[in-house]
């Protein structure tokens, strides 16, 4: 169900939900002006998007007032936000992508990823992040070394069946 709900929204509308959730998280409320600032769009564009999201029962918007996610909107925004944060962590922690590039790429990737793939990425990160420091997989250490030096360490196993 979660994947289907996301599929019905454009990536643009997902971005609005995500930014409203971030504003509610940080400030306790969201307003048209702040949403526009975060998305780098003008207020009339924000107002139009909010009307669309309100029709789908994802936000409540008082004219010239606050914007709030509905329960349905919060659930969907949390899926999108969690997916974004997971992708950002993967890109920066595992692939060692710089933060700015990772932020931009996570924003683009979050919209096209299936729920199944998102769950696998999350489990993969949990697996790596819960390894004791001295139990980090050798291949991950070797990958970090390769990124830093351009040199490949000798692998202990030559072939992996994937």
Task: Check residue 99 and give its pLDDT.
Answer: 97
Q: Which of 2.30.40.10, 1.10.60.10, 2.40.50.430, 3.30.300.100 is the CATH number of 82-149?
A: 1.10.60.10
The pTM assigned to this predicted structure is 0.80
Outline which parts of the chain fall under CATH 1.10.10.10.
Answer: 2-76
Task: Check residue 4 and give its pLDDT.
Answer: 46
**Chain mean position to CA 124:** 16
On whether the CB atoms of residues 70 and 60 are closer than 8 A, the answer is: yes
pLDDT in tens, the chain (162 residues): 344 444 479 999 999 999 999 999 999 999 999 999 999 999 999 999 999 999 999 999 988 789 999 999 999 999 999 999 999 999 998 899 999 999 999 999 999 888 899 999 999 898 888 877 777 777 888 888 888 888 888 766 655 565
Outline which parts of the chain fall under CATH 1.10.60.10.
Answer: 82-149
* Residue 40, helix vs strand vs coil: coil
* Residue 58, helix vs strand vs coil: coil
Task: Check residue 122 and give its pLDDT.
Answer: 92
Phi, then psi, of 114 in degrees rounded to 5: -70, 160
As a whole number of angstroms, the distance between CA 160 and CA 119 comes to: 23
Helices (H), 8-114: 11-27, 32-39, 43-55, 71-89, 99-109
Q: What single string gives the DSSP state of each residue in 5-29? A: HHHTS-HHHHHHHHHHHHHHHHHS-
Query: At the top level of CATH, which class does the domain 2-76 belong to?
Result: mainly alpha
Task: Check residue 161 and give its pLDDT.
Answer: 60
């Amino acid at each position: 169900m979660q994947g289907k709900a996301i599929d019905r929204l454009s990536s643009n509308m997902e971005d609005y939900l995500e930014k409203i959730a971030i504003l509610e998280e940080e400030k306790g409320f969201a307003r048209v002006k702040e949403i526009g600032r975060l998305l780098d769009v003008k207020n009339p564009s924000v107002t139009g998007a909010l009307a669309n999201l309100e029709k789908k029962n994802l936000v409540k918007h008082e004219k010239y007032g606050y914007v709030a996610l509905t329960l349905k909107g919060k659930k969907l925004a949390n899926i999108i936000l969690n997916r974004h944060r997971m992708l950002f962590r993967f890109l920066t922690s595992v692939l060692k992508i710089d933060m700015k590039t990772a932020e931009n790429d996570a924003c683009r990737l979050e919209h096209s990823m299936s729920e199944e793939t998102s769950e696998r990425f999350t489990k993969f990160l949990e697996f790596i992040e819960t390894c004791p420091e001295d139990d980090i997989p050798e291949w991950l250490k070797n990958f970090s070394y390769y990124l830093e030096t351009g040199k490949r360490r000798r692998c202990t196993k030559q072939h992996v069946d994937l």
